[in-house]
Amino acid sequence: MKSPELNLCGLVAVRSRFEKDPASIKRLFFDEATGRKVGVICKALAAGRKVYRCVPAAELEKIAGSIHHGGIVAVIDAPKLRAPDARTVANWAAKRTPLVLLDRIGNAHNLGAIARTAAFFGVENIVIPAHPQAALPGEAAFRVSEGGLEQVEVWRTPDLAKLMRELAAAGYDVAGAAARGGKPVLLAGPAKPVAVVLGNEEHGLAADVERACTRLVTIPGSGRVESLNVSVAGAVLIYALLAGR
Amino acid sequence: MKSPELNLCGLVAVRSRFEKDPASIKRLFFDEATGRKVGVICKALAAGRKVYRCVPAAELEKIAGSIHHGGIVAVIDAPKLRAPDARTVANWAAKRTPLVLLDRIGNAHNLGAIARTAAFFGVENIVIPAHPQAALPGEAAFRVSEGGLEQVEVWRTPDLAKLMRELAAAGYDVAGAAARGGKPVLLAGPAKPVAVVLGNEEHGLAADVERACTRLVTIPGSGRVESLNVSVAGAVLIYALLAGR
């Protein structure tokens, strides 16, 4: 069976992928202006006997399946999403690895934006549930992440609440973002490794996910608007609880 | 001369406007499902002998000029953007008013997202320059702000750098966001009132704007991705430097 492919769009994403894993680029298409900036990548593809081609705008749009191709499209294998097992959890705990857990973030742009922020702050692991509502790291997410998804591994677990209980048992501070009722977030936190859990855009944390948190945190607001955008709330929490650990 | 009008789209934005200034809604259009939720607003419009009407989806899209109408469109006068004068600056300084200054944020979605975050954290004044590159608080910005632009006054100054010098002279800590080279941001700051200055998405702060800052701040990152989205960087800085003051 042929593995599913994914179009990586935009110069930042393509360059970022090339720097990290040049062999993973299977084919490359670009417009004339962008082609002048990717000579090195084309040379590597030529050496690997792979297709790279300058194409007219209309064709590039068709290949990308979007007008948001940014002048260049690299075809790669879609990332395989591993499920974290007991060994992974033990390994994370031993290394005090900061984690971002997303409880059914449904909008791929939000997933991409959160991945960009996570990568910026050095958070290298994001976990999503195997749930039909959860956005996957596809083309839109890769584009919005501006190279962030190249720096982050996205894991997929069949049972997010169960994983959270395993993380708590392994010593994690599992901090769930609650729109209200949680403790206010400040910079300082407990000395444990931290997993930040962000809920669905509309519905927040699911009941079983909320129960599996070791604490709930709320970003103190003025009350004048109901909420922050989830990628903004995620950024504040990643900055406050995970950055620089 | 008829003043320019603006379409406020979406239930959150329309409700937020109605709560703040019911008389400012000039006309209201909605689909059937949304109409059931705005009886109170319709009643007020009826009392004011104003038009409110349930229309088919195609007409609503035409009125809104966008598919992103969220089922309801309120027509209002476009906000008049005042220029802050010497008295305004003195008043802000006396009240230690937190400020967000945007140096040519070009994308209306970013303007709306920043306004939402500012409103969430109780920051009620945003200043933009009278510059063709600077996005204005129009329909897209209002929509993305989810009611935030109802809670914030957007000011427009002919000379942002000059205003920043006046703020500094009035005692403000004028903190410019620099992608690199600034001091790292932490929660604590000087005891002065703070104005956070965010630069253009592509080019950052203009040279004269950067010179007019009393300090430059940089959000410490991993170096793995080049930058944060400006609305995310803005959120982290508003949280770290302005929130709860």
pLDDT one-digit tens code per residue, A195-237: 999 999 999 999 999 999 999 999 999 888 888 999 999 999 9
Burial string for B103-136 (b: 16+ CB within 10 Å, else e) reads: bbbbbbebbbbbbbbbbbbbbbbbbbbebeebbe
Predicted pLDDT of residue B231: 95
The shortest C-alpha distance from B122 to chain A (Å) reads: 5
Put simply, whether B100 touches A (Cβ < 8 Å) is no
pLDDT at A190 > cutoff 90: no
pLDDT band at A32 (very low <50, low <70, confident <90, very high): very high
Q: What is the DSSP letter of B185?
A: P
Out of B120, B186, B228, name the one closest to residue A225 (CB). Answer: B120
Whether B28 and B162 have beta carbons less than 8 Å apart is answered as no
Predicted pLDDT of residue A47: 96
Residues 113-142 of A with CB under 8 A from B: 113, 116-117, 119-122
Out of A119, A187, A236, name the one closest to residue B225 (CB). Answer: A119
Nearest to A90 by CA among A205, A169, A3, A150: A169
Predicted confidence (pLDDT) per residue in B36-55, tens digit: 999 999 999 999 999 999 99
Supply A95's token pair. 């290394």
pLDDT at A114 > cutoff 80: yes
Nearest to B231 by CA among B196, B189, B206, B182: B196
How many percent of chain A have pLDDT more than 90? 78
- Residue A45: phi and psi, rounded to 5, are -65, -40
Whether A177 and A237 have beta carbons less than 8 Å apart is answered as yes
Question: What is the set of domains in chain A, with CATH numbers?
Answer: 5-77 (3.30.1330.30), 86-242 (3.40.1280.10)
pLDDT at A1 > cutoff 60: no
For chain B, what percentages of helix, strand and coil (3-state, to nearest 5) are there?
40, 20, 40
Which of B224, B226, B231, B238 is best to mutate for the A interface (most A CBs within 10 A)? B224
* Neighboring chain A residues of B229 at a CB cutoff of 8 Å: 113, 116-117, 146
Max CA pair span of chain A: 59
How many percent of chain B have pLDDT more than 90? 78
In angstroms, rounded to a whole number, what is the distance separating the alpha carbons of residues B122 and B125?
Answer: 9
Mean pLDDT of the region A100-111: 97
Contacts of A64 (CB under 8 A, 6+ apart): A7, A9, A73, A139
Predicted pLDDT of residue A12: 87
CB contact under 8 A, A239 and B243: no
pLDDT band at A82 (very low <50, low <70, confident <90, very high): very high
Predicted confidence (pLDDT) per residue in B53-110, tens digit: 999 999 999 998 888 888 999 999 988 999 999 999 999 999 999 999 999 999 999 9
Predicted pLDDT of residue B18: 94
What mean pLDDT, rounded, does chain B reach? 92
The shortest C-alpha distance from A86 to chain B (Å) reads: 28
pLDDT at A189 > cutoff 70: no
pLDDT at B140 > cutoff 70: yes
The shortest C-alpha distance from B144 to chain A (Å) reads: 9
Rg over CA atoms, chain A: 19
Higher pLDDT, B242 or B209: B209
Contacts of B47 (CB under 8 A, 6+ apart): none
How many CB contacts within 8 angstroms connect chain A with chain B? Answer: 96
Predicted pLDDT of residue A245: 58
Tell me: ipTM over 0.95: no
Whether A73 and A25 have beta carbons less than 8 Å apart is answered as no
Put simply, whether B11 touches A (Cβ < 8 Å) is no
pLDDT at A242 > cutoff 90: no
Supply B30's token pair. 């909605």
Contacts of A20 (CB under 8 A, 6+ apart): A150, A151
Nearest to B24 by CA among B156, B153, B124, B150: B150
